[in-house]
Chain A
Amino acid sequence: MTTLLVLLLLAVGVYCVAVLEAWITSGRFRLAAPAYSAMALLGRESNIPRKPDLLFFEVGPVVLLVAALLAAAVIPLSPDLIITDLATGALFLNAALAYVLVALIMAGWGPNGAYAMIGGWRFLGQLVAYAMLIVMPITAVAMRAESLATTDIVVSQAGLWNIVYQPLGFILFFVAAMGLAFLPPFDLPTAKGELAGGVEAEYSGVRLAVFRLGRMVLVITLAAATVTFYLGGWQGPWLAPWLWSAVKILLVTAVMLLIGRYVPRIREAHLLAWCWKLGIPLALLNIFMVGILLVVIP
């Protein structure tokens, strides 16, 4: 029952993200647009390119969707509204999200096309940049909660949200999460105008619909993870806990999309350089500072 309810909320959330994305990128607020484009994608022919690695081509988008859904399974929308409250939830979230990379490599390699393949391998480079900045801030969050369970992490923020307690970690995690979801300005694997859609380039029809759906679920899962780790999860006055989660998740998503609207696409080499030379030392500093804070203010 809980699973069904969470999946339903996720579906509503994905629809909202699609409306938001269209609103922010095109400037037009149209509630029915995602439904129309879904119908159009499902109605169109789904082409198969010449000499593909058919297994990878078919499985890639599905793996993306499954990885994002599995990651969503450990996100608590309220104390009871969680699919599975694992004791290693924060680590499980990482494990599931690691398969986003596998999905993109499969989808990039499968169609036997140059743009798609470059897109897939680009995401591998992107992972080398963002991976540490996902894991190290989560380490600091788990240090404060003294637990890897996501519900414990939310409860640990009852007095003070982590965005105030460890703002540096929040900024790093937020940027890395945008990199993981390949949202602009980190949309290197799908780079429109430069790679002609990259990983998406050879997909059409229902396969493209699955890919886009997977990506939307990924975006909302990462926004939900940001809310869980840094914005106090379901906590807040007056409203019901699940409603607080929903409001916060949509706000974080909107901010992510808005940043992408106004910041130009970053170059892969620059991304790697910034993440490794600046991001990782800052993430270590964050862990160090949280360690000291924990001793000073228990």
Chain B
Amino acid sequence: MITGQSIFIGFFGVAAVWFGIVVFRTFSMVRSAIALLFSQTALGAMFLTMQAEFLGVLQIMMMATEMSIMAFFMVMFMMDPGGMGKMEMTHQKRLSLIVGLVSFVGAVAIAVFIDWGPVATTVADTAQQTKALGLELLGRSMLVFEMAGVTILTAMIAATSVAIQPLPLSAIKHKKDRV
């Protein structure tokens, strides 16, 4: 049955995929990052359409700052961040295409063939949802989320330390003298 809700879910779903494609269709790193942001925002809008208000708003909030910081990192690391030189910045195209297609088919297969159980007809009110989410995050899922958080933090510190050019010893000594 096609309802207003399913039309909106479809619309935001298509928007998310479309902005995902735009990420790779542009030469500008900042445009690429902002396209990814709008792709994620569309996902947040899908949550909102499915009446998961807290998750939707959280997704929309987190992605704005995360993707902006990512844009900054891409400008720092890439040689042609504005895309004005039309420099090719993709590599291993065939491999990534295959991996992308296989994951897409896998995800669709999971969505279609898995037994999701009975469909919920009513949605708990938002405060109740938020409470349930909080209990879940601080209960059995705590370890998973803490692991993910620490992993991301480690990756960020590692990436930054790799990016910093090591100073020669004499420069460090000189700095110490100045301080």
Residues of A within 8 A of B (CB): 51, 53, 55-56, 86-88, 91-92, 94-95, 98-99, 101-102, 105-106, 109, 112, 121, 124, 127-128, 131, 147-148
Contact = CB atoms under 8 A, between A and B. Distances in A.
B61 A91 contact: yes
A47 B91 CA distance: 39
Contacts of B61: 91, 94-95, 98
B28 interface: yes
B31 A102 contact: no
Interface string B23-50: 0000010110010010000000000000
B119 interface: no
A131 B127 contact: no
B67 to A, nearest CB: 8
Among B37, B58, B61, B126, the most chain A Cβ lie within 10 Å of the Cβ of: B61
Q: Interface majority SS on B: helix, strand, loop or mixed?
A: helix
Contact of A106 (B34, B57, B126): B34
Contacts, number: 63
Given A88-B126, A102-B37, A109-B30, 6 more contacts: A51-B84, A53-B82, A55-B31, A94-B61, A95-B57, A102-B34
Contacts of B82: 53, 112
Contacts of B9: none
Given A87-B53, A88-B57, A98 B65 contact: yes
A56 B37 CA distance: 14
B135 to A, nearest CB: 15
